[in-house]
């Protein structure tokens, strides 16, 4: 198990903080984080705490108004690190530790959370408009990237057939609700991942290239069967692995262990890190997937 060579980099607004930044006063710069991501429509969430920031950096984080947040984490030795969270901060605050020695600055953030509930759209599209064009307009209204809209929505089948809205459409009201209605009409599912829209066909993965997860590639302990979805009858599998950025909701996982093996889709994942302890893990919930 790799406990050395950890890499992390946190950017909040214009302030960037790295694992190897020097710290004045001989107080160590440490990080703790929890990032939870799912295939649901609710924004993904992150709680990130950094101890012993300089007064200047601490103030810059606290003074920023809903800054963008990016957290990169993984390992140094083989460059296996990537963005595990990108979104908007909605709260930044600093407290002293119980012994009064250190200051801990905490960033609370959501993936696309700034505009998820408040964004509205008022647009009319004429006959023959592409489904992808209308979905892109909803994403723009929500302030998120269009992600894989063009490729997925362009191949979708509306109730009327094809990916063209023959009669056009008028949208007015919450952008997320309009997006929901459009996706349901084309048997699509949506979520926000890394600040961009992720579309996938119902019961299909968003990314068909599989990540191999085995004891030799980062699997920790034994996977376990946790529950059966009463609606789909699919079995849920819980796994723990090293912090592997390539595992994310909608990704196919090729699981290889002595207890459980097969193809699964990642439904949710929680990345947990603590640079002062052993935590540098990814806890995933997988579901049956037929390729």
Q: Which range (104-108, 133-137, 285-289) has the least confidence?
A: 285-289
Is pLDDT above 90 for 159?
A: no
**CATH of 207-288 among 3.40.720.10, 3.10.129.10, 2.40.30.150, 1.10.10.60:** 2.40.30.150
Contact 255, 213 (CB under 8 A): yes
Which sequence spans correspond to the domains of the chain?
A: 6-110, 120-193, 207-288
State pLDDT tens for residues 70-84: 999 988 766 667 899
Distance of alpha carbon 168 from the chain centroid:
33
The torsion angles phi and psi of 255, rounded to 5 degrees, stand at -90, 130
Q: How far apart are CA 25 and CA 136, in angstroms?
A: 50
Is pLDDT above 90 for 133?
A: yes
Instruction: Considering only residues 41 and 4, tell me which one the structure prediction assigns the higher pLDDT.
Output: 41
**What average pLDDT does this structure show over 142-159?**
85
> Over the chain, what is the mean pLDDT?
87
Q: How confident is the model at residue 208 (pLDDT cuts 50, 70, 90)?
A: confident
Q: How confident is the model at residue 1 (pLDDT cuts 50, 70, 90)?
A: very low
Which neighbouring-strand residues pair with 30? 51
Q: How far apart are CA 51 and CA 99, in angstroms?
A: 13
Spatial neighbors of 239 by CB under 8 A, at least 6 apart, are 213, 219, 223, 253, 255, 283, 284, 286
pTM for the structure as a whole:
0.85
Compute the C-alpha angle 98/103/108, nearest 5°: 100
Q: Which range (24-33, 142-151, 218-227, 273-282) has the least confidence?
A: 24-33
Q: How far apart are CA 24 and CA 179, in angstroms?
A: 49
Which neighbouring-strand residues pair with 145? 196
Contact 263, 286 (CB under 8 A): no
Buried b (16+ CB within 10 A) or exposed e, 127-160: eebbbbbbbbbbbebbebbbbbbeebbeebebee
**What average pLDDT does this structure show over 161-183?**
90
The torsion angles phi and psi of 59, rounded to 5 degrees, stand at -65, -35
């Amino acid at each position: 198990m790799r406990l050395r060579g950890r890499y992390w980099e946190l950017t909040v607004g214009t302030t960037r903080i790295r694992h190897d930044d020097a710290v004045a006063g001989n107080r160590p710069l440490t990080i703790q984080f929890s990032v939870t991501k799912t295939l649901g429509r609710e924004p993904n969430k992150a709680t990130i705490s950094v101890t012993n920031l300089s007064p200047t950096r601490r103030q810059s984080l606290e003074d920023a108004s809903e800054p963008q947040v990016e957290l990169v984490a993984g390992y140094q030795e083989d460059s296996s690190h990537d963005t595990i969270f990108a979104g908007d901060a909605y709260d930044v605050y600093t407290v002293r530790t119980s012994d009064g020695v250190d200051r801990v600055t905490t960033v609370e953030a959501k993936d696309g959370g700034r505009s998820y509930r408040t964004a509205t759209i008022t647009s009319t599209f004429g006959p023959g408009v592409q489904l992808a064009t209308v979905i892109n307009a909803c994403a723009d209204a929500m302030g998120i990237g269009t992600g894989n809209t063009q490729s997925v929505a362009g191949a979708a089948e509306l109730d009327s057939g094809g990916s063209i809205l023959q009669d056009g459409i008028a949208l007015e009201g919450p952008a997320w609700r309009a997006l929901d209605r459009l996706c349901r009409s084309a048997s699509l599912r949506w979520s926000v991942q890394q600040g961009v829209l992720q579309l996938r066909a119902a019961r299909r993965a968003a990314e068909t290239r599989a990540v191999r997860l085995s004891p030799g590639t980062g699997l920790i302990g034994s996977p376990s069967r946790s529950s059966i979805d009463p609606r789909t009858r699919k079995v849920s599998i819980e796994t723990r692995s090293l912090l592997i950025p390539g595992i994310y909701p909608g990704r196919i996982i090729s699981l290889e262990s002595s207890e459980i093996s097969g193809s699964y889709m990642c439904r949710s994942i929680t990345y947990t890190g603590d640079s002062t302890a052993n935590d540098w893990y990814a806890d995933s919930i997988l579901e049956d997937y037929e390729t």
